[in-house]
Amino acid sequence: MSARMLARVGAHSHIKGLGLDEKGRAKFIGDGLVGQIKAREAAGLVVKLIKEGKMAGRAVLLAGPPGTGKTAIAIGIARELGSDVPFVQLSGSEIYSAEVKKTEVLMRALRKAIGVRFREIRRVLEGEIVEFEPHFVPHPFNPYQRVVQKAKLTLRTKDERVTYTVGPDVAEEMISRGVQKGMVVMIDKETGRVSVLGISEDAAKELGYDIGRIPRVPVPSGPVEKDREFVWTTTLDELDELFHKRKSGGGIFSLLFGGGEERKEIDPETRAQVDEWVKEQVEAGKAEILPGVLFIDEIHMLDIEAFSFLNRALESELAPIVIMASNRGLTKIRGTDIVSPHGMPLDLLDRLLIIPTYPYTAEETREILKIRAREEGIELDDEAIELLVRYGTEISLRYAVQLMAPAAERAKINGRTKVTKEDIEAVRERFASVEESIQHLKEWEEKFLK
Ligand SMILES: Nc1ncnc2c1ncn2[C@@H]1O[C@H](COP(=O)(O)OP(=O)(O)O)[C@@H](O)[C@H]1O
Ligand SMILES: [Mg+2]
C-alpha cells in the first residue's frame, strides 16, 4: 500500500466492519461505526450479494452530504469482504493526470481491484536441525580451495527423526544461509530451496538467548516429509506490470528492482495475455480470482468519456465491484451540457443500487468523536467533547474530527494531558473548515477582480 493510501485509510482506521448482527441488523455502535443504520444495513445486503456473485454488472452509489460516512461505509464493506480482497480508492479528479490517459488511470484502478490467489501444493522436508555435517572435497581446479560435495542432514519433528544425504546445491544453500543446529527449516524437495522458519523453542531455551532477529517457532509435528500448501495473492495490475517488464526485455533484475524505464501505459495486448494466462491458471485449479472493490469518490468529477469507459468495464468478465460516492444532486455531466442526477449518464444510473446517507444527530456525532479520540489516543474533557459535537453538527463532522489532533498538541504544549474547551476554541480560531476557506478565497478574488 502506498503512503498516500495509508494516510487516507488513517482517518477511517477505527472501522472494522459494518457492525451488523446475524440477521443483518445494525447495532447503534458496532465495528467502529455509529448510527446511519439503514445505510449500513443496505451495505450489509450488498456484501451478501457480492459474496453470492450477484453483483455482476451492477454498481453501488453512496449518496449524501459531505461527512455523512460515505467513505466510512465503503471501507466497512471492504472489511466485511475479508483481508485479502483488494480495496482500491480513487477520487474522481485523480483521473486527470498529465502523464497518463484518463482511461488508463481507470483501467489500472479496475485491475488493481481484482485479486488473483494462487495455490500450490509442494513436497517439502520440514523439521528442526539435529545435525548438519557438510562434507568438503578439494576444488577440482584449485587445490587450495575446498568445495562442499554433500552433507549429512538430520531433521526432527515432535514425532520422528530422519537422516538424509543432501547434494551440493542444498548443502551450499544451507551454508550460505548460516543454518545451525536448533533451527527449523523447510526444504522444497523439487527445487532444493531452503527457508529458515526460525529457531526452535527448545533450542532457544537451551541456548538461553535468541539469535538476532530469527523468530522462535515450535518444533513441527507429524512426518518430516509432507505436502504443504502455499498461498499468495497478487492483482491483475501487478501481473500486467510483470508481463510488461518481461516483454520490454529488462530481464530478472528489472523484474525484481523495477529498474529501467518507468512504465506509463500498458498495451492492450499485454493485458489480454495476462487475462488469458490467469484463465488458464484458474482452469488448471492453480488460481482463483478474487473480485475486490474499486471505490470512486467524487464520481461527478468523471467526464462523459470516463463514464462510458467505466460502463463498458462493468460488463467485462473480469470486473471488480464498483462503489461510487457523490454529494451532488442534479448537475451537468462533465464534458457535456446534459444535466443529470449526480452528474452521471443514464446508462450508468440504470445499473446502480443507491444508498443514501443522512447528517448525524448530536448523539451520533458525540459517539463518532469519542471513537476517533480513542483511536488517536487523545483524551478530551466533557466540555471539549461537547464543543466538538457542536462544531461537528454545525460545521462538519470531518472538520470536528480534524480539530482533535492540533487541539491535543496545544494541550501538550501547555503541560496538560487532557484536551479542554479552551484548546478546542483556540484551534477553531486558527484552522478553517473547507467551507470557510472557500468563502475566504472568494472574498479575496472579488477584491482583486474589481
Ligand atoms: N457512522 C460512522 N461511524 C463512525 N465513524 C464515522 C461514521 N461516519 C463517518 N465517520 C468518520 O467521520 C469522518 C468523516 O466521514 P467520511 O466517511 O469521510 O464522510 P463522507 O465520505 O461522507 O464525506 C471519517 O473519519 C469517518 O471515518
Ligand atoms: Mg468521503
CB 297 within 8 A of CB 89: yes
Stretch 264-277: mean pLDDT: 88
Q: Rounded distance, CA 206 to CA 203, Å?
A: 5
The whole-angstrom distance between residue 325's C-alpha and the CA centroid of its chain comes to 19
Q: Rounded distance, CA 217 to CA 178, Å?
A: 17
Angle between helices 421-430 and 397-413 (to 10 degrees): 110
The secondary structure of residue 10, as a DSSP letter, is: H
Q: pLDDT tens digits for 27-44?
A: 999 999 999 999 999 999
Q: What is the pLDDT of residue 5?
A: 46
User: Does ligand 1 come within 6 angstroms of the Cβ of 76?
Assistant: no
Q: What is the DSSP string of 44-92?
A: HHHHHHHHTT--TT-EEEEE-STTSSHHHHHHHHHHHH-TTS-EEEEEG
Which H or E run contains 273? helix 268-283
Residue nearest to atom 13 of ligand 1 (CA): 398
Number of H helices, E strands in the chain: 16, 19
Q: What is the pLDDT of residue 397?
A: 92
Q: pLDDT tens digits for 52-84?
A: 888 888 899 999 998 999 999 999 998 998 877
Residue nearest to atom 8 of ligand 1 (CA): 69
Choose the CATH number for 120-230 among 2.40.50.360, 3.20.20.105, 2.60.120.260, 3.40.50.720: 2.40.50.360
* Per-residue cell: 72: 466510512
Closest ligand 1 atom to Cα of 72: 17
Q: pLDDT tens digits for 289-303?
A: 988 899 999 999 999
From start to end of 339-407, where are the E strands?
A: 339-341, 352-356, 379-380
Which H or E run contains 411? helix 397-413
Q: What is the pLDDT of residue 265?
A: 80
* Per-residue cell: 340: 443529470
Q: What is the pLDDT of residue 88?
A: 92
Tell whether the model's pLDDT for residue 365 goes beyond 90. yes
* Per-residue cell: 284: 488448471
Angle between helices 421-430 and 382-394 (to 10 degrees): 30
User: Does ligand 1 come within 6 angstroms of the Cβ of 12?
Assistant: yes
User: Does ligand 1 come within 6 angstroms of the Cβ of 69?
Assistant: yes
Q: What is the pLDDT of residue 433?
A: 85
Q: Where in the chain is the domain with CATH 2.40.50.360?
A: 120-230
Q: Where in the chain is the domain with CATH 3.40.50.300?
A: 3-113+292-356
Tell whether the model's pLDDT for residue 261 goes beyond 60. no
Tell whether the model's pLDDT for residue 352 goes beyond 90. yes
Closest ligand 1 atom to Cα of 65: 22
Q: What is the pLDDT of residue 147?
A: 86
User: Does ligand 1 come within 6 angstroms of the Cβ of 71?
Assistant: yes
CA 174–ligand 2 middle distance (angstroms):
52
User: Does ligand 1 come within 6 angstroms of the Cβ of 11?
Assistant: yes
User: Does ligand 1 come within 6 angstroms of the Cβ of 68?
Assistant: yes
CB 343 within 8 A of CB 335: no
Q: What is the pLDDT of residue 262?
A: 54
Q: Rounded distance, CA 232 to CA 85, Å?
A: 12
Question: What band does 231 get if pLDDT is binned at 50, 70 and 90?
Answer: confident
Residue nearest to atom 4 of ligand 1 (CA): 33
Q: Rounded distance, CA 356 to CA 347, Å?
A: 20
Q: Where in the chain is the domain with CATH 1.10.8.60?
A: 362-438
Question: What band does 146 get if pLDDT is binned at 50, 70 and 90?
Answer: confident
CB 224 within 8 A of CB 211: no
Q: pLDDT tens digits for 92-120?
A: 999 898 788 899 999 999 999 999 998 88
Q: What is the pLDDT of residue 6?
A: 45
Choose the CATH number for 362-438 among 1.20.120.420, 3.40.50.9100, 1.10.3080.10, 1.10.8.60: 1.10.8.60
Q: What is the DSSP string of 318-344?
A: S--EEEEEE---EEEPBTSS-EEETT-
Q: What is the pLDDT of residue 97?
A: 82
Tell whether the model's pLDDT for residue 213 goes beyond 90. no
Stretch 150-166: mean pLDDT: 94
Per the DSSP assignment, residues forming a β-bridge with 295 are 89, 323
Counting beta carbons within 10 angstroms of the beta carbon of residue 202, is it exposed (0 to 12), middle (13 to 18) or buried (19 or more)? middle
CA 368–ligand 1 middle distance (angstroms):
8
Tell whether the model's pLDDT for residue 190 goes beyond 90. no
Q: What is the pLDDT of residue 225?
A: 95
Q: Rounded distance, CA 164 to CA 170, Å?
A: 11
**Percent of the chain with pLDDT strictly greater than 70:** 93
The secondary structure of residue 395, as a DSSP letter, is: T
Q: Which residues contact 155 (CB under 8 A, 6 or more apart)?
A: 125, 126, 127, 128, 129, 130, 161, 162, 164, 185, 224
Closest ligand 1 atom to Cα of 357: 22
Q: Rounded distance, CA 13 to CA 21, Å?
A: 21
Torsion of CA 273, 279, 281, 284, to 10 degrees: -140
* Per-residue cell: 93: 479528479
Handedness of CA 121, 318, 239, 89 (dihedral sign): negative
Architecture of the domain spanning 3-113+292-356:
3-Layer(aba) Sandwich (3.40)
